[in-house]
Amino acid sequence: MAELHDLTALEQGAAIRAGETSSAELVEHYLRRIHGEPYGAFVTVTADRARTAPTEGDGPLAGVPTAVKDLNLTAGVPTGFGSAAYAGFVPDVDDEVVRRIGAAGMPVLGKTATPEFGSPCYTEPAGRPPAVTPWDTTRMAGGSSGGAAAAVAAGLVPVAQGSDGGGSIRIPASCCGLVGLKPSRGRISAAPTYGDPVGLGTSGTLARTVRDAAALLDVLAGPAVGDPSWAPEPTSSFLSACDAEPGRLRVARFLDPVITDVAVDPECVAAYDGLSRRLEALGHEVVDVERPVSRDAVPVFETCWAVLTAQSVVGLTDDQRAVLRPLTRWLASRADEVSGVAFALAIGELRRLAAGALTRLAAYDLVLTPTLAAPPLPVGAIRDDTDPAADFEAQKQFTPWTSLWNLTGSPAVSLPTHRTPEGLPVGTMLAARPGEEAVLLAAAAQLEASYADEGDAWRDRVPPGW
């Protein structure tokens, strides 16, 4: 047998069922790998909890270890939300995502790093090492699910949960050479906090393969009692969608950045053009289209983003507010200037902008863009504590496409389609119509198979130190 961490998550589950390994053996194997890890992936390791976790479950990932992002409530385990303001906070409940991971029999090895309240597109939490890509540890893992992505890419866990309000799964997936899947709005329950009244954020999955990402989505998906809305129930599992023939799809593509005017790195353009040619070679129709939303949408989105950030600091003491990061304080101060009526109007305008974009793209099954405007940047290249406005602008320039699909509520995935001459990973992004994860997964799996047929299987790409 290969080293245990060489196996995909689904292969690990199959090995458990065949008696070739056990969940306990996998837990100990990964705990040894996590010990002293240099990637800034974990903020808390829950070894005892993982060793005693129930591992029974009906699904194919029963017994397979995983991790939970430090934005998610975990009963009895410190949850810091990436902020020094919440140092020592220990919730007394698990959120719905954590409950479902437990019900699937997946031991949780710990909490993965996130920036303060999951806001920035880099993961450099106060007082902790930055999360870095295992492909070059001087460069960022991306954010805000940077710890989760670093953990999967370094072989510290086989698959991990993340969350995405403006690209926070797909950004680190691109930086770390992974499959990063943001599902449709309402696909995964946000119980019990329901903290996002705008509807931008959702949990999702990070994995080395499309099938692993789909299998974890099967674990997480579905409404909980009390959810205000939910995506349509699928007719079959998301894992089975990976085995479906996608047929001939119409794929729209555009390179024009959505939220700011920025020069796109040639390697990201090469990834975009390369995947376009591959889609055509697989029999799909690829059509150039105009950017489907005006940049007039950006101030509206920023208003909502600032208010969502401000929600995170409500109720903090003066001492807690004193240790907030400058970016958080700056965004919260912007929110102080937004009235309740202005916020409601902004949400309504976002709905109209999303409807317009979806209408313009309705004739297409998929939409192709780069994931990011550059390969993974050096640690600290974006963060600017002396000028939070410049920090925020640099984030927009690095991530000018990802938030479009949070606006529309569409499922979107970053695929590890390209590497720079230096070996840095570069992702390319596909999105589908809301509720159509099955189409997205079928196409992504077909693309993944085409790379494997050429001897370049994504699962076999491993970074130094693997």
Residue 238 has pLDDT above 70, yes or no: yes
pLDDT of residue 49: 97
pLDDT of residue 331: 97
Q: Is 144 an annotated catalytic residue?
A: yes
| Positive or negative torsion for Cα 204, 302, 395, 116 | negative
Give the mean model confidence (pLDDT) for residues 199-206: 98
Residue 1 has pLDDT above 60, yes or no: no
Percent of the chain with pLDDT over 90: 99
In this structure, how many other beta carbons lie within 10 angstroms of the beta carbon of residue 399?
28
pLDDT tens for 350-371 read 999 999 999 999 999 999 999 9
pLDDT tens for 48-64 read 999 999 999 999 999 99
Q: How many CA atoms lie within 13 A of 235 on its CB side?
A: 5
Confidence of residue 306 (pLDDT cuts 50, 70, 90): very high
pTM over 0.85: yes
Please answer whether residues 121 and 382 qualify as being in contact, where contact means their C-beta atoms are separated by less than 8 angstroms.
Answer: yes
Q: Which residues contact 330 (CB under 8 A, 6 or more apart)?
A: 388, 389, 392
pLDDT of residue 98: 98
Confidence of residue 83 (pLDDT cuts 50, 70, 90): very high
Give the mean model confidence (pLDDT) for residues 197-207: 97
pLDDT of residue 126: 85
Residue 273 identity: D
Give the mean model confidence (pLDDT) for residues 385-404: 98
Q: Which helix (H) or strand (E) holds 175?
A: helix 170-176
Give the mean model confidence (pLDDT) for residues 163-172: 98
pLDDT of residue 2: 78
pLDDT of residue 437: 98
Q: State the catalytic residue, choosing from 23, 119, 144, 174.
A: 144
Give the mean model confidence (pLDDT) for residues 115-121: 97
Confidence of residue 227 (pLDDT cuts 50, 70, 90): very high
Ramachandran region, residue 393 (left: φ > 0; alpha: ψ -120 to 50; beta: rest):
alpha
pLDDT tens for 415-445 read 999 999 999 999 999 999 999 999 999 999 9
Q: State the catalytic residue, choosing from 23, 69, 189, 276.
A: 69
As a whole number of angstroms, the distance between CA 466 and CA 268 comes to 25
Q: Is 168 an annotated catalytic residue?
A: yes
Q: Is 174 an annotated catalytic residue?
A: no
pLDDT tens for 251-284 read 999 999 999 999 999 999 999 999 999 999 999 9
pLDDT of residue 141: 99
As a whole number of angstroms, the distance between CA 230 and CA 189 comes to 8
pLDDT of residue 451: 98
pLDDT of residue 457: 98
Give the mean model confidence (pLDDT) for residues 121-140: 96
Please state which of the four CATH numbers 3.90.380.10, 3.90.1300.10, 3.40.50.2300, 3.40.50.300 is assigned to the domain occupying 4-460: 3.90.1300.10
Please answer whether residues 125 and 135 qualify as being in contact, where contact means their C-beta atoms are separated by less than 8 angstroms.
Answer: no
Q: State the catalytic residue, choosing from 83, 145, 168, 276.
A: 168
Residue 237 has pLDDT above 70, yes or no: yes
Give the mean model confidence (pLDDT) for residues 157-186: 98
